[in-house]
Amino acid sequence: MNNTDNLPIWSYQSKIDPSYTVSILFKTHELYNDIKVQLDNVNNSIAALQIGTKNILIDGEEVLKLNLTQDDIYAIEAHEIAHSIIGHGPGTDEESEKEADLLGIALLEINGLMDAAEVLKDKLFRMYNIDYRQFEQEFNSELDTDEFPEE
């Protein structure tokens, strides 16, 4: 996505859940300004799930400005799909954002997108001081030491 001067939109089926369509809109798209206003109204968000659909809209200009990687975009997708699965409505609060990140990590790891899952783990730590990696280590060490009864 280096030269997007004439690229209005880039759409594809989500790798995380193919029933979702991801659309990255750029300023040359006729609906970009309307979408940008909607995203700005949701906590200055870079992405949102279109209400009542399985369409994830991402601000392409922000993708370029922030120099986001494919893993960053997968993390955004997983986060938005998680909101949908959990049933979060419009608007957002800190608790629903944490829930979406936690489920998003699971969705990414199930699909083998480990680097993208790391993006959400970093976000959880940076924004909410939740150390998911420490939780994983503690959980895995408990699994290693637990004795399972023989059948």
Domain-located, residue 3: no
Q: How far apart are CA 26 and CA 5, in angstroms?
A: 8
Domain-located, residue 151: no
Q: Count how many Cα atoms sit within 13 Å of the Cα of residue 40 in the half-sphere of its side chain.
A: 6
What per-residue confidence (pLDDT) applies to 2? Answer: 47
Domain-located, residue 108: yes
What per-residue confidence (pLDDT) applies to 88? Answer: 83
Residue 63 lies in domain: 9-145
Residue 43 has pLDDT above 70, yes or no: no
Q: What is the pLDDT of residues 90-137, one digit of tens each?
A: 667 889 899 999 999 999 999 999 999 999 999 999 999 988 888 777
Mean pLDDT of 71-78: 96
Helical pair 114-128 and 70-86, crossing angle rounded to 10 deg: 70
Q: How far apart are CA 109 and CA 87, in angstroms?
A: 21
Sign of the CA dihedral 24, 87, 37, 93?
Answer: negative
Domain-located, residue 150: no
Total domains, the chain = 1
